[in-house]
Structure 1
Amino acid sequence: MVALTGQTVLITGASSGLGEQLALAVAAKGANVVLAARRQDRLTKVADQCRLLSRAQAVAIKCDLAQVSEIDRLFDQVDQLFGSLDIVINAAGFGILTPAIDMDAATMAKMLRVNTLGVMLVSQLAAQRMSRAGKGEIVTIASIAGKIATPKSAVYAASKAALIAYDNALRLELKPIGINVMTVNPGPINTDFFKTADPSGHYLDSVGWLALNPVQFAEVIVSKLGRHQRELNRPRLMAAANLGYQIAPKLGDWLAGTVFNLK
């Protein structure tokens, strides 16, 4: 079991869903946690829970990843409060399941600012600090959608595919310094994500048998910290499907557009 006592962990998207469970999981391992998200009231409640679990520090900082100035301010506060940063977990993001030709420009821009550019900036600022210390770990919650795109997820899939590519290059740049970059690519997770992505509830109902449990999945992710894990793909069935897609892309396109098109 990984021990995080005395380490400082920054988690974005920590007010709910997988981000919240990741915060609780690292707190249970003794970490000081910095929680960032847009909803201050939800963040404060999560921070209170973390403090009970860790008997260490838990700080809730309101931050909108679509705003560069707020990300800069977040890191300034981390510097002032802790002076160093050991682990960053990028768990913020959202999706809208709709045909590409129907999505308005404002929604596309916001999704790319939050899911992609915001995460890249958080990783960059974290890496700058970690490089001075010669150690650290950056974890990005991307998506299996970044590897296997399906109808009604074009922009979301693109935002996550960009993160996978970014992490692949960042990993090579930071490895000689002693910093690990782990990319996590989950399939559907049983969280409030789908209340925004698909208010009808149809998609989650269709894939419920496959959906990951956020509490259990958070534990799996945290168990990989400090182990120089490159990538984590879950559920295993979708990870296997990704390998098959690379071997037979035409068949993969057919399956993604028909059998696995559950939206």
Structure 2
Amino acid sequence: MRITVLGGCGAWPAAGQACSGYLVEHEGFTVLLDPGCAVLPALLARLPPDAVDAVLVTHGHPDHCADLSPLLRARVLGPTVTDALPVYAPQGAVDAVLALDSPHLLADAYDLRAIADDSRYEVGPFRLTTRALPHHVPNLGMRLTADGVTLAYTGDTGPSPDIAVLADSANVLLAEATFVEETPVDDRAYLSTARQAGEYAAAAGVGRLVLTHLWPGTEPNAAADAARHAFNGPVDIAGPSLSLTP
């Protein structure tokens, strides 16, 4: 399994960067996990649009799904004829994005597959397991496993014991860490800190922690140091140059 970060900005893309977007590849099968704002240009710098075999969406905020629209346009209007792209998302999560174009244009572009909490799916060579985690809108944390290697991804989440359940013994935990040490009062039930991500990584016994969704302007070293208060394993920041083969 290879994991490549296309973007990891929270809320909006910083200059020259993208919001949440990750490629997960195994045995020639490519999953795009969360096509957030500005992810498509980062993807196209590496792969043509028809190289994506499936899209997974954790929730319906634009920094996690907005670039599904231009991805589908690139596949439909580009020179290569493509099959319908399987899109796995919580019920209703991508309705607004898909409504940006006429139904006629995208009629054969995608195959929307609703996914639910605490369920299992087969996505190419991957086994996908889902778990609902608390956020401002319905959000599904995802666990992808292939050939004994596991990536756990929180999407966006507030504090929950289910994070450690989702990430149990995972090789890599990709964890939302919008804030460094303290979350503003209004968001405490719905977003997390780097320190909390480190605590969940330690509780789950993961091999590596990757912090993502940092608020633009956050000092990455400060976030990594906060996570290391509880987690003794490797800690990375989800930047556009990060690629891992667990």
Q: Which has the larger radius of gyration?
A: 1
Q: Indicate the TM-score class for this superposition, using the shorter chain for normalisation.
A: 0.3 to 0.5
Structure with greater proportional helix content: 1
**TM-score relative to the length of structure 1:** 0.39
**TM-score relative to the length of structure 2:** 0.41
Structure with greater proportional strand content: 2
